[in-house]
Amino acid sequence: MIPLVLRHITTGWVLAFSKVRLKTKEHALGYGWEILTPVIYAVCFVVVKQSLVGKTSIEHAQSWEVLRAFMGVSLFQLWFQLVQEMSELVRRRRSLLRGMTISEIPLILAVIFEACIGLAIRFCTIVLAVFFLDLSFPVSLMGWGWWVISLCALLISASALGLVLAPWAALYPDVGKSMRSINMPLILISPVFYPATTDVGSSLFWINCVNPLASIFATMLDVLMGKPPFYSEALVGWVVFGFLLLSWSMYQLKKQIPILLERMGA
Amino acid sequence: METLLRVEGLGKKFSRDLKASMKAGAKSILRSYFGSRQDVVALKSKEFWALRDVSCELRRGEVMAVLGHNGAGKSTLLKCIAGKLRIDTGSVHLNGTIGHMLEMSAGFEQALSGRENVRLRGRLLHLKGKAIEKYIQEVAEFADIGEFFDAPVQFYSSGMRARLGFAVSSVMTPDILILDEVLAVGDLSFRVKCYERINEISRNAGVLFVSHSLGQVARMCNRGIFLEKGRVVYDGTVQEAIRIYQDKLGQGNEKVDRFVLNPELVSMEFFVSGVKVSAGQKVGYGEPMVLKGDISKLPRGAQMRVLLRDAGSGLIMDWNSARNTIEWPRNPTHVCADLGPVELNPGAYSLSVQVMSPDGREHLCMSSVIPFRVTGELLYAIPVQKRANWSFTV
């Protein structure tokens, strides 16, 4: 599998760039949407929070909450978008899959690479937000390492879950609808608008371990705040599990594409 | 010659019911997680075999026509070979690279320009640097769509799409080229260009070709298979495959009731070599044909047209009395018209008579059709093949 992936890296990038070009051509704001939504969420969060506590300026402790909300929404949006894009891969690329004899691997890589571009944009906005809110960056190399692992976990878990859903989403439109319906509950059970629990005995802790986003958000914020990452084991677990799931799904998809093309009217 | 493609016992079934089809798809997906494909030979409710026990081979240098009527399984066969459909039984062995054009869009991104699409396709085929520039150049030259090459594909006409699609599929010279009804669009000059290209490719490759245009098939193919209800009923020369196709088409034609209008107004009969032509009768090439009929109920000066149709009911020729200067007698009862020799390629045809008012504006009568077959040697697939008086000067 790894040699195959390496062989298709260039074509994956080419496809990703063609998609980026299309996106910038078709959308008036292009990649502006990647920043706009989390900014709106963060502003709303600040306004509501200030109204509730009756203060007019952001204090230092509140700045962490604002950053958590901004970072959480920003990365949640990317994660969810990646799951959706990956699950709709066969349906969206069916014309290409029908029209050419090509491997599905560059198509999968293209979705991941496009997400990488989105992630880079979000990373920059989060860095700007840290500056803007006058907060600190991780000082240790280990801290940055956890950040990298967190971002990798985000890409891998979303890609893996999306790819597992891909054949089913191509067969049943219900999959797409159910994904949209769990969008809000998922953000509510993730530590975006409240801190991640550290009570190992609580059920929320175990929900956070199972929730691929919780360990990512919690670890990134812990590192920024200079604390040891509380959910590091869950995070590493998701990286390993996600990687295995992704590899297995990539292998399966090759066999599944003719079945799906037939059902979609090849 | 080297065998490029071997199809053995191929079977493919479809369901007529959408829900059942989705269920079968879900089951296939679940099964794919646990192992390889198992031959499924039993049909479930509302399922039917689109292809059954199909076996054939394609060798280098062959252009093989896949003939059959609508629903015979031609396109399904090509899609199974191209790997676009999962097969239920049998196997497909490919010995070389495969290129195909199974549909007009040919996998183009509609919002990207032709050039961008070709570049993308080149990159997907792992072309780099000068090779990709050469590929784009060759496609642009072959497609010959001018400035539209740099316009989004969504603004292309169907002819332009076909040009670009054929160009990207054929420029790479695959070992096996699969073409499904792709030359139905496009102007004559482009089609001629495509024929030349296919001939060029077939010198060092194998081509699978589906078309309902027997002219194209006869011109380009050197082998043919005929499919009926998903089974191969003939595999051999293209001439024989065309003959069977026409024969089957003729059988269908003989069973169909055509539109008639006031048939009681005329009573016409056709005679070939003095023998009355009846439905399904066989007629030899070059035999003289005569029309005889009772016209006592027709108004004086009515225009009479004898219509000749091919097996697909396409009008290929007519004899119109308005082309002759006819002196109608005062009270004619019968008419006789010498239609000349039957100079038709072997196949199924039909004759009918249409009568118009003297000014040619009003339909007075349309007789029932008389289907017949022409026998003899098939030369290409042009229906009307006239003889000329050839002479030489030295």
CB contact under 8 A, B86 and A252: no
Q: Which tens digit of pLDDT belongs to each residue from A89-99? A: 988 888 788 77
CB contact under 8 A, B112 and A255: no
User: By the 8 A CB rule, do A87 and A169 touch?
Assistant: yes
The residue of chain B nearest to residue A17, with distances taken between CA atoms, is B120
CA distance B202 to A66: 67
Q: Which residue among A11, A171, A252 sits closest to B22, beta carbon to beta carbon?
A: A171
pLDDT of the residue at A87: 94
Q: Say if residue A170 is exposed, middle or buried (CB neighbours under 10 Å; 0-12, 13-18, 19+).
A: buried
Query: CA of A38, closest CA in chain B: separation in Å?
Result: 29
CA distance A191 to A208: 8
Q: Which residue among A14, A98, A172 sits closest to B107, beta carbon to beta carbon?
A: A98
CB contact under 8 A, B29 and A101: no
Q: What is the mean pLDDT of residues B368-373?
A: 86
Among the listed residues A39, A124, A56, A97, the one whose alpha carbon sits nearest the alpha carbon of residue A258: A97
The first and second tokens of residue A14, run together, are 């080419």
Q: How confident is the model at residue A138 (pLDDT cuts 50, 70, 90)?
A: confident
Q: What is the mean pLDDT of residues B363-388?
A: 84
Q: CA of A40: how far to CAs of A18, A37, A74, A78, A94, in Å?
A: 29, 5, 10, 15, 35
Chain B from 62 to 91: CB within 8 A of any A CB:
79, 82-86
The residue of chain B nearest to residue A102, with distances taken between CA atoms, is B124
- Which segments of chain B belong to CATH 2.70.50.60? 258-375
- Range with the poorest average pLDDT among B33-37, B91-95, B388-392: B33-37
For the cut 70, the answer to whether the pLDDT of residue A6 exceeds it is yes
DSSP state of A190: S
Q: Which residue among B85, B105, B111 sits closest to A99, beta carbon to beta carbon?
A: B105
Q: What is the CATH number of domain B3-8+54-252?
A: 3.40.50.300
pLDDT of the residue at A169: 92
DSSP secondary structure letters along B292-356: EEE-TTSPTT-EEEEEEEETT--EEEEEEGGGS-----SS--EEEEEEEE--B-SEEEEEEEEEE
Q: Say if residue B37 is exposed, middle or buried (CB neighbours under 10 Å; 0-12, 13-18, 19+).
A: middle
DSSP state of B148: G
CB contact under 8 A, A15 and B124: yes
Q: Which tens digit of pLDDT belongs to each residue from A48-88? A: 766 766 666 666 667 888 888 888 988 998 999 999 999 99
CA distance A238 to A211: 9
Whether the CB of B34 is below 8 Å from some CB of chain A: the reply is no
CA distance B227 to B74: 7
Q: Which residue among A14, A98, A168 sits closest to B120, beta carbon to beta carbon?
A: A14
Q: Which residue among A25, A26, A98 sits closest to B84, beta carbon to beta carbon?
A: A98
Identity (one letter) of the amino acid at B268?
M
Q: Which tens digit of pLDDT belongs to each residue from B299-355? A: 888 899 999 988 777 888 999 998 988 888 888 888 899 999 999 988 888 888 999
B165: which chain A residues are within 8 Å (Cβ-Cβ)?
99
Residue ranges covered by each domain of chain A: 2-263
CA distance A231 to A217: 9
pLDDT of the residue at B245: 87
CB contact under 8 A, B26 and A171: yes
CB contact under 8 A, B29 and A171: yes
Query: pTM for the full model?
Result: 0.75
Task: Give, rounded to a whole angstrom, the gap between the first and last alpha carbons of chain B.
Answer: 44
Whether the CB of A261 is below 8 Å from some CB of chain B: the reply is yes
Question: Spelled out in words, what is the top-level CATH class assigned to the domain B258-375?
Answer: mainly beta
pLDDT of the residue at A205: 92
User: By the 8 A CB rule, do A56 and A76 touch?
Assistant: no
pLDDT of the residue at A226: 85
* Between A219 and B259, residue with greater pLDDT: A219
Q: How confident is the model at residue B256 (pLDDT cuts 50, 70, 90)?
A: low
For chain B, the residue count is 394
Tell how far CA A193 is from the center of its chain. 17
The residue of chain B nearest to residue A110, with distances taken between CA atoms, is B124
User: By the 8 A CB rule, do B5 and B92 touch?
Assistant: yes
